[in-house]
Structure 1
Amino acid sequence: MVLALGGNIGVLGVVGIALIVYAMFSYYASTSIVLSISGAHQVTKQEEWEFVRRVENLCIGAGLPMPKTWVLEDSAPNAFATGRDPEHAHVVVTRGLLDKLEPIELEGVLSHELSHIGNYDIRLMTLVTVLVGVVALVSDLFLRFTFMGAGSRRGSRDKGGNAGLILLVVAIVGAILAPIVAQGIRLAVSRRREYLADASGALLCRHPEALARALEKIAADPEPLEAANKATAHLYISNPLKEHASFLNNMFSTHPPIEDRIRILRSM
């Protein structure tokens, strides 16, 4: 009994250390992974003068350090910001965004992305995403350990067997619900931060209509972003997957309805 308890504590200790290592690695490596997945390349002021100059000017107005600037060679208009904090931030725009938006509309989009940086949304969403991953891992491990424990007690017919069965049912339900609840929290946080970045961005560029028009153009563009996937879609200013509007898609979307965002901007 004592040996078994000691063994379980040892296993839990190893699992706990592994989870901490996983969380730390995910937090510090997430930016590099996202940039690598996107396929964007870093650009200088000499290469993309209009884009980088506008970022510089907006950063001065917002009191932010200059982020690294990247261009994703894709004709679908979109943009995102990533990084741990303002000192380690990156702003990525697609070639389509630079080609299809008017200068004032581009400034509105950049103001939105810089607001994500200034509001520390980039750190918050990184932490929330890591948390969702940890919850999923813990749920899976808890379920596996419970099954193993139930198997070792299978021969027992005493009251402890009934307790083990109850624990198994609780573990199964928890393993199913915990990741769903965690993902729901991530989606809710992401949607709220998009509204906040819209409002902050409109104040930064002092032209809410410019951001509203930019969102209209981005949403109306039929091209899906080739580099986008479910794991990174929440980063972009507008859902890059171009999913059809439906009750389920809206419920599980990382972005609030674009019509609501435009309406709020035009009421400012």
Structure 2
Amino acid sequence: MAAYGLYTHIASNKTRSMLLLAGLFLLIYVMVFAGALIGEVVVNSNGSVAYYINAATRDLIKALPFATIGAVLWIVIAYFGHQKMIDSITGSESVTRQEQPRLYNLLENLCISRGIPMPKLKVMDSDALNAFATGLNPRQYSVTVTTGLLRALNDDEMEAVLGHELTHIRNGDVQLMVVAVIIAGVVGFAAELFFRIFINSGFRFGGSPSRSSSSSDNNKGSGGGAVIVIIIAVALIALAWALSLVVRFALSRSRELLADAGSVELTKNPDAMISALRKIENRGELPGATSAVMEMCIDNPREGFADLFATHPSVDSRVAALVKFAGGHDPGRMALPSDTDAAEVSNGTETPPLPPRSGPWSNGKSLAGSAQEPLRGPWSRHA
């Protein structure tokens, strides 16, 4: 069914996401099957390919309940402990209205305007410009922003970022991404474990069979099948690991665009969302954060070859979507004000004059144009 409008796109995306998540769960069984193939070769290295596949299939059927229980147990553990793990990795701490009145009031006003339960508010001490939402139920929901973001954005831009994160919570993105990261983590952990064991054990083919004599007789002269089966198992493990990454990327990429649109729907201010994205662009790398944490952030910067594995659409494509569908205005890539100016901005909504360009976009002029040109578009001063 075709999607028309924001809410039908959200509903359609949820359906696709659940299918992707189911596929991600199936990858666990692929890993179990690959492990069964390797196990059968270890037990009997003189079997044929057909023998190993049949034996591994029987092993998989027997192991299905245990694999399912193990995966569910892992999800339950993460359900109760994932927030503590994220907080320990990022160093984020909860703040109150008295500690962060500006930030708290912006978030509270957005929640009141839409009847959304107020999530916990956390601040991470980092110069990086980023924010993310986490939680698997209303008691756990939280929105975390960095101190660098607080200094760099004015009130309108900060409100847009908070609206983006609230949309992730409203759309159920945070629950889905946490579960996806957990399941993909199981696949990745198992893949790494298999490869480490395979490399460090000095696995050799051609060992004598340890099965019964009847099994050996049935597979006599088929020792070469072990090599083929090991290759198949390694290929399955690598494929499962790669597909788990692809599913995570597919889930995250589509949701960022919808969260941008949801922020505009909450704030009615597309220019604020665009300017926030331009300021955050390529400045969001959190020191020491894992890839799982970065996937939940508003921006996950990647450059060069790493961009092939980006979990987020590029800022250019996100801005282009907001310009096309929300009527916003794109000022282009931006240089940030100094920390002193940014701190002054944090107390009001006015954007200070931007410094000259620096870096690869330098042309000797300020970002707003030459000194003689008036500021235009969303950056213009109101009389």
The TM tier, using the shorter chain, reads: 0.7 to 0.9
Q: Summarize the alignment of residues 210-249 of structure 1 with structure 2, pairs less than 5 Å apart.
A: 210-219=272-281, 221=283, 224-239=285-300, 242-243=301-302, 245-246=303-304, 248-249=305-306
Percentage identity across paired residues of the two chains: 36
2:129 to 69, 77, 89: 77
Shift of 1:197: 0.5
1:200 to 262, 273, 281: 262
Structure with the higher fraction of residues in helix conformation: 1
Give yes or no for contact 1:75–1:94 (8 Å, CA) kept in 2.
Answer: yes
Measured at CA, do residues 23 and 167 of structure 1 come closer, stay the same or move farther in structure 2, by a change above 3 Å? farther
Cross-structure match for 1:250: 307
Shift of 1:232: 1.4
| Aligned mates of 2:119, 2:231 — CA distance in 1 | 49
Give yes or no for contact 1:83–1:89 (8 Å, CA) kept in 2.
Answer: yes
Gaps of 5+ in 2: 1-54, 327-383
| Aligned mates of 1:150, 1:139 — CA distance in 2 | 25
Q: Summarize the alignment of residues 19-168 of structure 1 with structure 2, pairs less than 5 Å apart.
A: 19-139=71-191, 153=209, 158=220, 161-168=223-230
Letter in 1 for 2:242: I
- Paired residue secondary structure (1:93): strand
- Paired residue secondary structure (1:70): strand
Shift of 1:16: 5.1
Q: TM-score, normalised by structure 2?
A: 0.60
- Paired residue secondary structure (2:292): coil
Cross-structure match for 2:250: 188
Moved more, 169-178 or 107-116: 169-178
Give yes or no for contact 2:286–2:294 (8 Å, CA) kept in 1.
Answer: no
Q: TM-score, normalised by structure 1?
A: 0.83
Measured at CA, do residues 158 and 27 of structure 1 come closer, stay the same or move farther in structure 2, by a change above 3 Å? farther
- Paired residue secondary structure (2:298): coil
Moved more, 20-29 or 35-44: 20-29
Measured at CA, do residues 177 and 261 of structure 1 come closer, stay the same or move farther in structure 2, by a change above 3 Å? same
- Paired residue secondary structure (1:92): strand
- Paired residue secondary structure (2:145): strand
| Aligned mates of 2:169, 2:289 — CA distance in 1 | 21
| Aligned mates of 2:261, 2:120 — CA distance in 1 | 23
Cross-structure match for 1:262: 319
Shift of 1:34: 0.8
For these two proteins, the number of residue pairs brought into alignment is 258
Shift of 1:142: 7.4
Gaps of 5+ in 1: none
| Aligned mates of 1:148, 1:19 — CA distance in 2 | 31
Shift of 1:198: 0.6
Measured at CA, do residues 68 and 170 of structure 1 come closer, stay the same or move farther in structure 2, by a change above 3 Å? same
| Aligned mates of 1:151, 1:213 — CA distance in 2 | 65
Give yes or no for contact 1:150–1:165 (8 Å, CA) kept in 2.
Answer: no
- Paired residue secondary structure (1:81): strand
- Paired residue secondary structure (2:291): coil
Letter in 2 for 1:253: A
Measured at CA, do residues 264 and 138 of structure 1 come closer, stay the same or move farther in structure 2, by a change above 3 Å? same
Measured at CA, do residues 40 and 171 of structure 1 come closer, stay the same or move farther in structure 2, by a change above 3 Å? same
Shift of 1:254: 1.2
- Give a deviation string over 1:178-210, Cα, whole Å, max 9, x none: 011111110111111111111111111111110
Measured at CA, do residues 42 and 152 of structure 1 come closer, stay the same or move farther in structure 2, by a change above 3 Å? farther
Shift of 1:159: 5.9
Give yes or no for contact 2:181–2:292 (8 Å, CA) kept in 1.
Answer: no
| Aligned mates of 1:209, 1:43 — CA distance in 2 | 28
| Aligned mates of 1:187, 1:51 — CA distance in 2 | 30
Cross-structure match for 2:231: 169
Letter in 1 for 2:233: A
- Give a deviation string over 1:103-124, Cα, whole Å, max 9, x none: 0010000000000000010001
| Aligned mates of 1:152, 1:68 — CA distance in 2 | 61
- Paired residue secondary structure (2:320): helix
Letter in 1 for 2:100: E
